[in-house]
């Protein structure tokens, strides 16, 4: 592949002759492909027992695996059931390092298309509040889809600048992930377009954005909180120098040491005026491990405030002011169609019903793309369930289900949006693949009306 000469000259100067040759040789090697099991939907062992792919573990994350080149996991019905997220192996490290836990308030500030958000959500297990943000409105659409596909219940999706977020969330978050917009040098082997567009996204432009993001992130992180900063670039200006500058400007942070395993390398303090603490940061190099280029730093903010979020609503709790008829309609739907209760704080936006495990935070003045777990819509005295409702439920939570084998003609027909000629009891029916929910259909007697979202349907 053709790499920018200015980039090559810079890397040769940074790495020295011998390491530079090893680095350059990696671009002639095959790239690595990965997926991460979505433990909100299935256990890692359970998935390995049914996996149609030859999987080998990614050593720096608990639920990540390599799959062979030539496989197409994005076309398999298990993908449409949200059992895994396709993700570059090195990109799995920042979410693992963040270590989000149930009950916390967590921010993923540059979240689209959602791989790290889904990984964070898996660690939170539906408890606490996850705010997933991206400033790009087009990319937010993919973020919302991936959150819904993977059955995330506790996420709010915003489409805002860090400055505006900081006005509403001052000192609010226990953990923040900044997977910063960057010059993308670490992705050149994976994406040749990144190499071609490098001239337009060189580190000088990106570093100013990174500085701005970090300045507002500091305002939003609680004392005692954890900040993880990552990029997919090799540029010291966006990596070690960025962290050194941030700590110099905000003296109340300490760098935590990230374990170096399976070829993960140390940060390079010599590239940032010899700041010794930067040895705790890590670099993932394509010539040293099975993955692309990444930089990750983990910082502790001084203080002891810690996590204060709790799983407050272990039962159903309606927000104040909701008309009784809405409650009656929804409760009737639950009684007629589900074997489980909907637990959490329920509130309405327009005619849409949402649920969160905590009360809604202050979102005034913010652009919000998703207000939590979207349950469905009230329409002419009826409740129409959403796709995100069923993707967050287990098969046993639904009264009427039809379960297809992953290799069956019927499951492919369903994913294409076709009507299925199957008899059954009238009403909403959960369509499943090998025991995992795919979406809704409506039984009308001798056929199932397909309710799989039109924008999600397979074309082939």
Structure tokens at 413: 């027909």
Per-residue H/E/C for 321-367: CCCHHHHHHHHHHHHHHECCCCCEEEEEECCEEEEECCCCCCCCCCC
The H or E element containing residue 402 is: strand 401-404
Query: What's 157's DSSP letter?
Result: E
Q: Is the peptide bond before 113 cis (omega within 30 degrees of 0)?
A: yes
pLDDT at res. 309:
52
What is the DSSP code (8-state) at residue 108?
E
Domain boundaries, the chain: 5-301, 398-460
Dihedral, 364, 365, 367, 372 alpha carbons, nearest 10: -10
Superfamily of chain region 5-301? Vaccinia Virus protein VP39 (3.40.50.150)
29-45 in b/e form (b: 16+ CB < 10 A) is eebbbbbbbbbbbbebe
Q: How far apart are CA 290 and CA 276, in angstroms?
A: 27
Cα separations (Å) of 448 from 24, 405, 420, 457? 56, 17, 5, 16
Burial of 101 (0-12, 13-18, 19+ CB in 10 A): middle
310 vs 224: CA distance, rounded Å: 17
Determine the pLDDT at residue 198: 72
Architecture of domain 398-460: Roll (2.30)
Crossing angle of helices 137-149 and 115-124, rounded to 10° = 40
Residue pair 158/368 in contact (Cβ under 8 Å)? The answer is yes
pLDDT tens string for the chain (460 positions)?
Answer: 788 888 899 999 999 999 999 999 999 998 999 999 999 999 999 999 999 999 999 999 999 999 999 999 999 999 999 999 999 999 999 999 999 999 999 999 999 999 999 999 999 999 999 999 999 999 999 999 999 999 999 999 999 999 999 999 999 999 999 999 998 888 888 877 777 777 766 677 788 899 999 999 999 999 999 999 999 999 999 999 999 999 999 889 999 999 999 999 999 999 988 676 798 999 999 999 999 999 999 999 998 765 555 556 678 899 988 999 999 999 999 999 999 999 999 999 999 999 999 999 999 999 999 999 999 999 999 999 999 999 999 999 999 999 999 999 999 999 999 999 998 999 999 999 999 999 999 999 889 999 999 989 876 6
How far is residue 28 CA from its own chain's centroid?
A: 30
* Angle CA 59–122–279, to nearest 5: 45
d(CA 93, CA 282): 10
Q: What is the DSSP letter of 420?
A: B
pLDDT attached to residue 189:
84
Concerning whether 232 is annotated as a catalytic residue, the answer is: yes
Pairing state between β 253-256 and 436-443: unpaired
Selecting among 232, 307, 355, 432, the annotated active-site residue is 232
Secondary structure of residue 423 in the 3-state scheme: coil
Asked if 111 and 117 count as a contact pair (C-beta separation under 8 A), the reply is yes
What distance in Å separates the CA atoms of residue 454 and residue 48, rounded to the nearest whole number?
Answer: 30
């Amino acid at each position: 592949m053709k790499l920018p000469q200015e980039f090559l000259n810079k890397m040769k100067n940074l790495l020295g002759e011998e390491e530079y040759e090893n680095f350059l040789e990696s671009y002639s090697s095959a790239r690595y492909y990965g997926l991460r099991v979505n433990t909100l939907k299935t256990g890692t062992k359970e998935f390995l027992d049914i996996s149609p792919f030859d999987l080998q573990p990614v050593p720096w994350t608990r639920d990540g695996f390599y799959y062979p080149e030539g496989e197409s996991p994005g076309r398999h019905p298990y993908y449409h059931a949200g059992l895994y997220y396709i993700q570059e192996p090195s990109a799995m490290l920042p979410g693992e390092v963040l270590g989000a836990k149930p009950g916390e308030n967590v921010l993923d500030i540059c979240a689209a298309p959602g791989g790290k958000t889904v990984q964070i959500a898996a660690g939170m297990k539906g408890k606490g509040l996850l705010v997933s943000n991206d400033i790009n409105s087009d990319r937010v659409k993919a973020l919302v889809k991936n959150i819904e596909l993977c059955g995330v219940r506790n996420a709010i999706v915003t489409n805002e600048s860090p400055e505006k977020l900081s006005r509403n969330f001052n000192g609010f978050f226990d953990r923040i992930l900044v997977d910063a917009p960057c010059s993308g040098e670490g992705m050149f082997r994976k994406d040749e377009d990144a190499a071609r567009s490098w001239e337009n996204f060189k580190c000088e432009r990106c570093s100013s954005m990174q500085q701005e993001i970090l300045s507002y992130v500091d305002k939003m992180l609680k004392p005692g909180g954890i900040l993880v900063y990552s990029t997919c670039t090799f540029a010291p200006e966006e990596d070690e120098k960025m962290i050194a500058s941030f700590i110099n400007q905000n003296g109340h942070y300490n760098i935590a040491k990230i374990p170096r395993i399976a070829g993960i390398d140390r940060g390079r303090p010599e590239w940032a005026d010899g700041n010794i603490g930067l040895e705790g940061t890590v670099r993932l190099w394509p010539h040293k491990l099975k993955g692309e280029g990444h930089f990750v730093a983990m910082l502790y903010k001084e203080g002891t405030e810690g996590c204060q979020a709790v799983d407050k609503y272990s039962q159903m709790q309606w927000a104040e002011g909701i008309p009784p008829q809405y409650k009656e309609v929804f409760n009737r739907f639950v009684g007629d169609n589900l074997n489980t209760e909907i637990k959490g704080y329920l509130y309405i936006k327009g005619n849409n019903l949402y649920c969160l495990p905590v009360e809604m935070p202050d979102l005034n003045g913010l652009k919000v793309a998703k207000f939590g777990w979207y349950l469905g819509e009230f329409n002419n005295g009826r409740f129409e369930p959403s796709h995100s409702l069923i993707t967050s439920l287990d098969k046993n939570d639904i009264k009427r289900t039809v379960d297809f084998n992953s290799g069956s003609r019927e499951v492919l027909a369903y994913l294409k949006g076709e009507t299925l000629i199957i008899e059954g009891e009238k009403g909403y029916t959960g369509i499943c693949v090998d025991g995992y929910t795919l979406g809704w259909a409506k039984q009308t007697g001798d056929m199932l009306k397909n309710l799989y979202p039109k924008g999600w349907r397979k074309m082939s």
